[in-house]
Amino acid sequence: MLTRELISHSLPILHLQDKVFNALQMMNDSHVSQLAIEEDGKFMGMVSEENLMQAPDETIEIRDLKESFPMICVRENDHFLKALQVAVENRLSIVPVISENNELTGMVSYRELLKHASDFMNVKEPGGLIVLEMESTNYSFGEISRLVETNDARITQLNTYTDPQTGMMQVTIKLNKTELSDIVATFQRYEYNVKSYFGEELYENELRSNYDNLMNYLKL
């Protein structure tokens, strides 16, 4: 999914002539900590609630703020995970989306990005999880898929994460089955290190770990 498909039409856009107190009110009403600034259709950067609170006078215009406006944004044709990465790295509640001509297309909220990250990780579908740990050079999707399928199961989601400290890869596999003992035994028989596995009743606990791994991956 592209970022332009997630643009929120309810988030207000600021202009250089807007007063500081008006901008703060817009942020408060929209429950965000930043907003994008537009001038003649062009993206001028973004301003944060923290910057506005430090203004010497809340009746001055945004253009009078001495600090420059960070040009943090994504392109409208970027994958939504790029926007999520930008949001995580910069601790943003919104991410401005611009065109190839530097025109402000709109903004996408961090909350919406998290929702689609959840869908991307196939959170809502029931099933079990198996977490494998291996050297990255030993990773083979084809072999992992084949071993799963020999147990009349299939992979519905697979995420990888390489620990930057150890260099070991963790492969989190979501399956369409919750009874995992035979599949785990197969992996162990082929000398895979099964770090952990979870049936459906423990699935939500692993989702948090899986999500944290995604966030760590996006920070790389």
The answer on pLDDT for 212 being more than 80 is: no
Kind and range of the H or E element at 167? none
Q: Among 139, 189, 180, which residue's Cα sits nearest to residue 159?
A: 139
d(CA 166, CA 149): 30
* CATH code assigned to 123-219: 3.30.70.260
Is there a contact between 33 and 72 (Cβ–Cβ < 8 Å)?
no
Enter the pTM of the model.
0.64
Domain 3-118 CATH assignment equals 1.20.20.10: no
Question: Phi and psi at residue 59, in whole multiples of 5°?
Answer: -95, -5
* pLDDT level of residue 11 (50, 70, 90 thresholds): very high
pLDDT at position 109 over 50? yes
Q: What digits encode the pLDDT tens for the residues 45-102?
A: 999 999 999 998 999 999 998 777 999 999 999 988 889 889 988 999 999 999 999 9
Written as six digits, the tokens of 104 are 């402000």
Amino acid sitting at position 122: N
Confidence label for 204 from pLDDT (cuts 50, 70 and 90): very low
Cα–Cα distance for residue pair 174/127, rounded to 1 Å: 7
Taking residues 136-143, report their average pLDDT: 93
Domain ranges of the chain: 3-118, 123-219
Give CA separation, 199 vs 21, 28, 36, 131, 184, in Å. 52, 42, 44, 12, 12
d(CA 62, CA 21): 9
